[in-house]
């Protein structure tokens, strides 16, 4: 069996070699043989990823063009939406259960590799490099014109088979700076305008918080954090724990800094609040089930209580169906009925109702699933929660103007069913507040 693994390791991945993988028997491999088998499987993964690139590039190539008759009749397709009329992103996102941005990224990377970087794609198909390396080539060389990109790729093709993905990314940055120093300065000034703060949820009630900013500023910030961390007594904390505490202190515990208000439920589209949804028995300590922190997801009962009983906290009551756990009504006593309806839909769905979209509901349009009849409102879709769904602007336009996409909503379960132009169907269910 060791000979089998060593032999396959020397072969270029193909359908014939892939057919032999079913003969793999780990029990008959030595430690050396298992490493060879691991390399064989990794090379075949690269081969399959090269095949997937071909398929994704073919999907991206068949771009839909809006029908002139549709545009003329509706008169509401602006240039921005017409330019992004193709819905390959949405279908790929739904089919592979990806976020829209991830699907768009895959399609874009596949197109770049298929059109501009055949050499790199060939290395991937031969199992000589990883997908991460091929992706780095596509992404980083996109800023260069075809001729210069080809020159840099030719240099990298010699280097990449002997590199790890991180080494490839660093080498690409060096070669790009060497090939186009003036363009690098221009691009840096452009990226400077894109500086921003980001937050990403992590497991076990934790979150990643940071900023995208110029490298020199990041270095200065790191020095400031280290200086503050060095001033702390040990107290059983590790260096990394003290650095994290130092960053929090520098941002939050400065003179004049004030913590944001805390709310127990969504309060509309423009409120700046920390929103926590927690069942009352958990809030009072009778149960220790999870709560929900907006923008993060499930948190522990202890975290929810800490936020709920913090100074300045405002509570609002949400009512749910006992049988399903779905939100059925909010109870803001100071808002008009139309505002209450909006609050309920935003709180109920939390995100855009398109299956692959994670745009927060408070940043979405509220769309009538059954169209509202402006001439005879009694005959059209009513402005009630069961006939409303939050849709981001792109998916609102998609549902309204694209003839290939249709949506229905089950009023009992709250599940939306979307039918794509290809005939495939995809579902999206609202969150259940108590599971």
Helix (H) or strand (E) holding 216: helix 215-230
Amino acid 178: pLDDT: 85
Ranges 110-124, 328-342, 408-422: which has the least confidence: 328-342
Backbone angles phi, psi at 123, to 5 degrees: -65, -40
Statement: residue 287 has pLDDT above 50: yes
pLDDT class for 76, splitting at 50, 70, 90? low
Which has more pLDDT, 269 or 32?
32
Instruction: Give exposure, 237-259, as e/b (b: 16+ Cβ within 10 Å).
Output: eeeeebbebbbebbeeeeeeeee
Q: What is the mean pLDDT of residues 1-24?
A: 89
Percentage above 90 pLDDT, the chain: 34
Closest CA relative to residue 246, chosen from 232, 233, 258, 260:
232
Statement: residue 314 has pLDDT above 80: no
- Rounded Cα distance between 334 and 355, Å, is 33
- Rounded Cα distance between 288 and 190, Å, is 48
Ranges 24-28, 199-203, 291-295, 401-405: which has the least confidence: 291-295
Statement: residue 219 has pLDDT above 90: no
The whole-model pTM stands at: 0.69
Closest CA relative to residue 134, chosen from 18, 215, 51, 38:
51
Q: How many CB atoms lie within 10 A of CB 218?
A: 13
Which has more pLDDT, 418 or 308?
418
Q: What is the pLDDT of residues 175-192, one digit of tens each?
A: 888 888 888 888 888 988
Statement: residue 23 has pLDDT above 60: yes
DSSP SS3 for 412: coil
């Amino acid at each position: 069996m060791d000979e089998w693994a060593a032999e396959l390791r020397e072969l270029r991945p193909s359908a014939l070699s892939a057919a032999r993988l079913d003969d793999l028997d780990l029990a008959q491999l030595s430690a050396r043989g298992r490493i060879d088998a691991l390399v064989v499987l990794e090379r075949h993964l690269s081969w399959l990823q090269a095949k997937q690139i071909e398929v994704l590039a073919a999907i991206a190539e068949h771009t839909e063009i809006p029908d002139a008759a549709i545009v003329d009749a509706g008169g509401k397709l602006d240039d921005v939406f017409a330019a992004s009329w193709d819905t390959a992103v949405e279908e790929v996102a739904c089919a592979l259960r990806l976020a829209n941005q991830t699907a768009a990224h895959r399609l874009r990377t596949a197109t770049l590799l298929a059109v501009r970087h055949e050499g790199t794609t060939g290395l991937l198909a031969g199992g000589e490099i990883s997908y991460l390396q091929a992706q780095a080539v596509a992404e980083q060389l996109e800023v260069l014109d075809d001729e210069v990109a080809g020159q840099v790729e030719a240099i990298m093709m010699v280097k990449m088979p002997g590199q790890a993905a991180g080494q490839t990314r660093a080498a690409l940055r060096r070669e790009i700076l060497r090939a186009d120093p003036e363009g690098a300065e221009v691009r840096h000034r452009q990226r400077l305008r894109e500086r921003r703060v980001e937050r990403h949820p992590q497991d076990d009630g934790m979150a990643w918080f940071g900023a995208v900013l110029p490298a020199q500023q990041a270095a200065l910030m790191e020095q400031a954090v280290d200086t503050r961390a060095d001033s702390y007594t040990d107290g059983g904390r590790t260096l990394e724990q003290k650095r994290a505490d130092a960053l929090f202190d520098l941002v939050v515990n400065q003179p004049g800094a004030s913590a944001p208000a805390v709310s127990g439920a969504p309060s509309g589209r423009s409120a700046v609040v920390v929103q926590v949804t927690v069942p009352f028995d958990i809030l009072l300590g009778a149960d220790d089930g999870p709560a929900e922190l907006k923008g993060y997801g499930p948190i522990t009962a202890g975290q929810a209580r800490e936020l709920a009983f913090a100074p300045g906290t405002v509570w609002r009551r949400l009512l749910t169906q006992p049988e399903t756990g779905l939100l059925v009504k909010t109870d803001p006593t100071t808002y008009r009925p139309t505002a209450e309806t909006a609050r309920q839909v935003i709180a109920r769905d939390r995100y855009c109702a398109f299956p692959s979209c994670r745009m927060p509901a408070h940043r979405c349009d509220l769309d009538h699933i059954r169209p509202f009849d402006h001439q005879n409102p009694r005959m059209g879709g009513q402005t009630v929660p069961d006939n409303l769904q939050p849709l981001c602007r792109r998916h609102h336009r998609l549902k309204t103007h694209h003839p290939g996409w249709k949506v229905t909503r089950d009023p009992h379960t709250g599940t939306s069913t979307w039918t794509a132009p290809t005939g495939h169907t995809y579902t999206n269910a609202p969150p259940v507040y108590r599971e």
